């Protein structure tokens, strides 16, 4: 029937939505996109590739009525209230059994609420993480669907077709129950925050501390991207150093104000880890450093009171670059370890049944944190799917141990010169605590019992004890 032509509908024709829709059309699906603004519809239609079936509309009912049954509709709208508003507009137009996908960065608790709300009305609702930015959406993102196992087979062929591929395998897999898809995407972004912070610290030490210019930094990141540090984030950093500012002719990176924004997913990762009692300090510090960066005028005032960082001397360029490389590798691995350890616990606590081998498998391509390291984690989880922390894998342990000495040297040089490397130091601190058979928390327990009768356990006897300290 002429009014039931389309395989897939998409609400929200921003660049991500538009690109994802065009990507689906490239793979032979007939797609229709809706946006309230006719201008967005025109933008979509101006990019249609000849021979593909794509239609745009600013009439929501027209889109819904033009879809095959059960309808498959993805929303790519701003997280928060807009998702609920769109759902309310959609509901009167839907039929029982229709499948609605939220492909945005929604908070997982909102997704859980919406799953229940839509289920009660007879619809399927899935929270699906999509990573890879605008380019990824067009050429192949990493896709993290979760929830509703009944609905998944209806969207699986499309998601597999449009996703990135690694060794011919799609970077999409069903990642568990409830809001698992959005939870995994949230943690993906937390790891992303961690790695971005570590890269920025290494840049700061090499640039401000050691004096490497943008061309030298480009060369360093270029070389790194050809080795064990190969990753999307290292690759784009390499290219960032060469980009010129149209206005001034200077390098663009040098005219960008040092205040980082954030949309919330990193903070949510930290908040949830705190609630679950899981240590993810590299991610926490990455969130905190973005917050501190926002206090530009206060930092300028403080810089007048306290002494400035001093240059790092007494080491060759080759050596400092080698130390930096090891430190970035070390910190990056720890950032993944913390995020994955959070997923391990959250999966159990929230009964999400997240398959960690699948998570790292689909992160190998398309997403912002894709890197050659993911292959190493995939091997580790394939050997032991219930690994609570990748640092317990013996191959990974060797990788970390062989970078430990250089990481310590790099962090101490940065510290002596006064360049902030909070992410790298906390990654090292996490590692040192995690591998410590004993921690000084016996003293903390003694103090708690001293002032609050909070009790303690003993090393030599079962039970709960309290002492008269005075
Ligand atoms: C991705 C990105 C994407 C987005 C983040 C950035 O995986 O494609 O993570 O989700 O760029 O929202 O988050 P901040 O604005 O918080 O840095």
Domain range summary for the chain, segments of one domain joined by +: 8-174, 185-434, 445-470
**Counting beta carbons within 10 angstroms of the beta carbon of residue 308, is it exposed (0 to 12), middle (13 to 18) or buried (19 or more)?**
exposed
For the stretch 183-214, pLDDT in tens is 999 999 999 999 999 999 999 999 999 999 99
Answer whether 48's CB lies under 8 Å from 22's CB: yes
What spacing in Å lies between the alpha carbon of 310 and ligand 1's midpoint? 34
Active site residues: 185, 192
Atom 7 of ligand 1, residue of closest alpha carbon:
131
Pick the closest to residue 56 from 87, 30, 93, 26 (CA basis).
30
Atom 8 of ligand 1, residue of closest alpha carbon:
131
**Ligand 1 atom nearest to 132, measured from its CA:** 8
What is the best residue among 368, 369, 370 to mutate for testing ligand 1's pocket, by most ligand atoms within 8 Å of CB? 368
Task: Determine if ligand 1 sits within 6 Å of the CB of residue 263.
Answer: yes
The secondary structure of 392-446 as a DSSP string is GSHHHHHHHHHHHHHHHHHHHHHHHHT---HHHHHHHHHHHHHT-SS-THHHHHH
Task: Determine if ligand 1 sits within 6 Å of the CB of residue 291.
Answer: no
Atom 12 of ligand 1, residue of closest alpha carbon:
263
**350 pLDDT above the threshold of 70:** yes
Task: Determine if ligand 1 sits within 6 Å of the CB of residue 262.
Answer: yes
Task: Determine if ligand 1 sits within 6 Å of the CB of residue 192.
Answer: yes
Task: Determine if ligand 1 sits within 6 Å of the CB of residue 19.
Answer: no
For the stretch 378-436, pLDDT in tens is 999 999 999 999 999 999 999 999 999 999 999 999 999 999 999 999 999 999 999 99
Of the pLDDT bands very low, low, confident and very high (cuts 50, 70, 90), residue 10 is very high
Do the bridges between strand 31-34 and strand 54-57 make them parallel or antiparallel, or are there none, so unpaired?
A: parallel
Q: In whole angstroms, give the CA distance from residue 302 to residue 283.
A: 25
pLDDT at 3: 56
Between the CA of residue 130 and those of 48, 103, 104, 195, 365, what are the distances in Å?
A: 22, 6, 7, 19, 12
Residue 226 token pair? 């050809």
3-state secondary structure of 97: coil
pLDDT at 419: 98
What is the best residue among 191, 192, 367 to mutate for testing ligand 1's pocket, by most ligand atoms within 8 Å of CB? 192
For the stretch 67-121, pLDDT in tens is 999 999 999 999 999 999 999 999 999 999 999 999 999 999 999 999 999 999 9
What spacing in Å lies between the alpha carbon of 264 and ligand 1's midpoint? 9
Superfamily of structural domain 8-174: NAD(P)-binding Rossmann-like Domain (3.40.50.720)
**448 pLDDT above the threshold of 60:** yes
Please name the residues in contact with 148: beta carbons below 8 A apart, sequence gap of 6 or more: 99, 115, 124, 125, 126
Mean pLDDT value across residues 13-40: 97
Of the pLDDT bands very low, low, confident and very high (cuts 50, 70, 90), residue 1 is very low
Mean residue pLDDT of the chain comes to: 97
Domain 445-470 has CATH 1.10.8.80: no
pLDDT at 436: 98
pLDDT at 95: 97
pLDDT at 85: 97
Instruction: Give this prediction's pTM.
Output: 0.97
For the stretch 239-254, pLDDT in tens is 999 999 999 999 999 9
Mean pLDDT value across residues 60-68: 97
Q: At the topology level of CATH, where does 185-434 sit?
A: 1.10.1040
Which residues face 169 on adjacent strands? 166
């Amino acid at each position: 029937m002429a009014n039931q032509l389309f395989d897939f509908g998409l609400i929200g024709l921003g660049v991500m939505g538009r690109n994802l829709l065009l990507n689906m059309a490239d793979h032979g699906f007939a797609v229709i996109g809706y946006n309230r603004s006719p201008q967005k519809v025109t933008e979509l239609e101006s990019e249609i590739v000849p021979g593909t079936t794509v239609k745009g509309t600013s009439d929501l009912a027209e889109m819904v009525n033009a879809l095959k049954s059960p309808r498959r509709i993805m929303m790519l709208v701003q997280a928060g209230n807009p998702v609920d508003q769109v759902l309310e507009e959609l509901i009167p137009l839907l039929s029982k059994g229709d499948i609605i996908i939220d492909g945005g960065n929604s908070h997982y608790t909102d997704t859980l609420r919406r799953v229940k709300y839509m289920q009660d009305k007879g619809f399927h609702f899935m929270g699906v993480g999509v990573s890879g930015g605008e380019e990824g959406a067009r050429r192949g993102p990493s896709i993290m669907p979760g929830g509703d196992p009944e609905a998944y087979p209806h969207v699986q062929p499309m998601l597999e077709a449009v996703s990135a591929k690694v060794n011919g395998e799609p970077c999409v897999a069903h990642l568990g129950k409830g809001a698992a898809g959005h939870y995994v995407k949230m943690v993906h972004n937390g790891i992303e925050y961690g790695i971005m912070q570590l890269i920025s610290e290494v840049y700061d030490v090499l640039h401000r501390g050691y004096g490497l210019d943008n061309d030298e930094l480009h060369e360093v990141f270029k070389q790194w991207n050809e080795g064990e540090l190969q990753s999307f984030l290292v690759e784009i950093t390499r290219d960032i150093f060469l980009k010129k500012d149209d206005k001034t002719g200077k390098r663009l990176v040098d005219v960008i104000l040092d205040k980082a924004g954030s949309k919330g997913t990193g903070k949510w990762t930290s908040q949830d880890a705190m609630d679950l009692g899981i240590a993810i300090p590299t991610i926490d510090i990455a969130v905190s450093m973005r917050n501190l960066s926002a206090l530009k005028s206060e930092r300028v005032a403080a810089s007048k009171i306290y002494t400035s960082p001093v240059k790092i001397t007494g080491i060759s360029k080759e050596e400092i670059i080698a130390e930096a490389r090891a430190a970035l590798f070390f910190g990056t691995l720890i950032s993944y370890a913390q995020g994955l350890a959070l997923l391990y616990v959250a999966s159990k606590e929230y009964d999400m049944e997240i398959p960690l081998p699948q998570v790292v498998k689909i992160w190998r391509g398309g997403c912002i944190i894709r890197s050659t390291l993911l292959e190493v984690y995939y091997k580790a989880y394939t050997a032991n799917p219930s690994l609570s922390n990748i640092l317990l894998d013996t191959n990974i342990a060797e990788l970390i141990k062989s970078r430990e000495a250089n990481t310590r040297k790099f962090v101490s040089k940065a510290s002596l010169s006064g360049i902030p490397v909070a992410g790298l130091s906390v990654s090292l601190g996490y590692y040192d605590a995690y591998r410590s058979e004993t921690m000084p928390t016996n003293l903390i327990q003694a103090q708690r019992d001293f002032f609050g009768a909070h009790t303690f356990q003993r090393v030599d006897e079962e039970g709960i004890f309290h002492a008269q300290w005075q």
